[in-house]
């Protein structure tokens, strides 16, 4: 269940209550006249089954409450109520399969921000991957995959393409490009310094049977990226963030960037192109699969989701 809190101007409160009471998947409706002070208005609260949230939120948005009031949605971890159980039974589908588009919009928008934290995590992950390539240590490669935050902007691009939001796509692409460029350059400088100090040498990249998959992109790399893209989007839309770890471990975007960063100062030019291809193959696979997954989910929920019709 989701808990919805609405601040409504007094002249629109009846319409808000109408939306809530007419939807069979809404329960526990409360009205507190004049309870809101900034902005001024009435406070209406109710619980709604996750599967029916899209129709309710769309109807509330049509009232113009974004500009004249406010709509807040929270996830309820526990609701002990027979009425709530009945509301979930009435709503089509299962809560874990439901996509709340406003929730996904907010989440993907936050993933496009080029923050210092994003740059730091990506740079650290790339450096760990570079060390893993130099030492031929798969465990370091896996650790770098888990640490890398790059799937957030990838998901934002998929959602931006599906919803035709060019600005969102542009911001996410900028975050990815700037993030990977900064991470590779930082790692490259560190690798160059390590070579000057005698800590690393070109021969370290010559024979590494445990991690050479990074520089051998093939059809399986693309297939795994496709599967990871589907799993990643499903984990975000279903609110199963724990499964994203598996997505991170499946694709070799960060390891490819780390390998690229050490291949340049060590003069392994053939690995530079191979790393770029690996990076491109993984990103392309996730973008294609993620976008198609969102289109399929939108089509299914548009057809089978619970509709909310406002009274005139």
Q: Which residues of the chain have pLDDT under 50?
A: 309, 311-312
- Whole-number pLDDT of residue 304: 63
230 neighbors 290 (Cβ within 8 angstroms): yes
* Top-level class of domain 2-96: alpha beta
State residue 199's pLDDT score.
93
Going by C-alpha positions, the residue among 84, 79, 60 that lies closest to residue 7 is 60
What confidence score (pLDDT) does residue 298 get? 87
Q: State the Cα–Cα distance between residues 90 and 92, nearest whole angstrom.
A: 6
Segment 235-292, tens digit of pLDDT:
888 766 655 666 667 778 999 999 999 999 999 998 999 999 999 999 999 999 999 9
Domain ranges of the chain: 2-96, 105-300
pLDDT of residue 238: 76
Buried b / exposed e across 245-268, counting CB within 10 Å, b at 16+?
eebbebbbbbbbbbbbbbbbbbeb
pLDDT tens for each residue of 229-248: 998 898 888 766 655 666 66
Phi, psi of 259 (to 5 degrees): -65, -40
Q: What is the pLDDT of residue 246?
A: 63
Q: What is the tens place of the pLDDT at every residue in 153-174?
A: 999 999 999 999 999 999 999 9
Token code pair at residue 206: 């010559």
> How much is the pLDDT for 311?
45
Reported pTM: 0.85
């Amino acid at each position: 269940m989701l808990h919805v809190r609405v601040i409504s101007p007094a002249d629109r409160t009846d319409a808000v209550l109408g939306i809530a009471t007419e939807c069979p998947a809404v329960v526990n409706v409360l009205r507190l006249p004049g309870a809101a002070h900034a902005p001024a208005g009435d406070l209406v609260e109710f619980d709604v089954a996750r599967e029916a949230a899209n129709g309710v939120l769309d109807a509330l948005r049509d009232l113009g409450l974004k500009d004249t009031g406010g709509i807040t949605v929270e996830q309820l971890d526990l609701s002990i109520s027979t009425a709530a159980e009945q509301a979930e039974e009435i709503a089509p589908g299962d809560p874990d399969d439901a996509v709340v588009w406003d929730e996904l919009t907010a989440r993907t928008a936050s993933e496009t921000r080029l923050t210092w934290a994003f740059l730091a995590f990506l740079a650290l992950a790339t450096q760990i991957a570079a060390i893993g390539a130099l030492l031929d240590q798969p465990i370091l490669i896996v650790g770098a995959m888990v640490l890398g935050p790059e799937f957030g902007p990838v998901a934002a691009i998929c959602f931006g393409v599906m919803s035709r939001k060019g600005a969102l796509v542009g911001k996410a692409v900028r975050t990815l490009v700037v993030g990977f460029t900064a991470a590779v350059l930082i790692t490259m400088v560190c690798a160059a310094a390590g070579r000057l100090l005698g800590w690393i040498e070109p021969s370290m990249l010559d024979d590494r049977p445990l991690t050479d998959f990074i520089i051998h992109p093939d059809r399986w790399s693309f297939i795994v990226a496709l599967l990871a893209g589907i799993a990643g989007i499903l984990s975000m839309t279903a609110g199963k963030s724990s499964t994203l770890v598996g997505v991170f471990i499946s694709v070799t975007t960060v390891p490819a960037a780390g390998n690229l960063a050490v291949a340049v100062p060590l003069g392994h030019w053939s690995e530079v192109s191979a790393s770029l291809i690996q990076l491109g193959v993984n990103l392309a696979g996730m973008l294609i699969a993620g976008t198609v997954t969102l289109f399929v989910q939108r089509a299914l929920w548009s057809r089978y989701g619970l509709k909310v019709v406002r009274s005139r």
